[in-house]
Structure 1
Amino acid sequence: MSAVIGIALSLDTGKNKIARFYGGLQYFRAIRSAGGVPVGLPLLDEHTLRQAYDRMDGILLMGGGDVAPQRYGEKPIPELGDVEEYRDELELALIRWAREDNKPLLAICRGIQILNVAYGGTLYQDIDAQNPTGLDHRLSTKTGKRSYIAHKMSIQEGTRLYRSILEKEIPVNSMHHQAIKDVGKGLAVTGWSEDGIIEAVEDESNSWIVGIQCHPEELWEEHLWAKRLFESFIREASFQANRRNPDRTIGALVKD
Structure 2
Amino acid sequence: MPQEQTSAIVTGAASGMGRVMAIALAEVGFGVLAVDRDEAGLSGLPAPIRPFTADLADPASFERITQAALDAFGQIDVLVNNAGIGQASLRADQRRNTIRFWEVTPDQWQRFLAVNATGPIMLTRAVLPHMLKRNRGRIVTVTTSLGTMVREGYLLYGSSKAACESAMATLAADLKDSGVSVNILVPGGVTDTPLVGQAGDRSKMLRPEIMNPPLLWLVSDQAAGVNGRRFIAADWDTRLPASEAAAKAGAPIAWLSIARMPIEPKS
Please give the TM-score of this superposition, normalised by the length of structure 2.
Answer: 0.33
- Higher relative contact order (CA closer than 8 Å, sequence separation 6+): 1
Between Structure 1 and Structure 2, which shows a larger proportion of strand residues?
A: 1
Between Structure 1 and Structure 2, which shows a larger proportion of helix residues?
A: 2
Please give the TM-score of this superposition, normalised by the length of structure 1.
Answer: 0.34
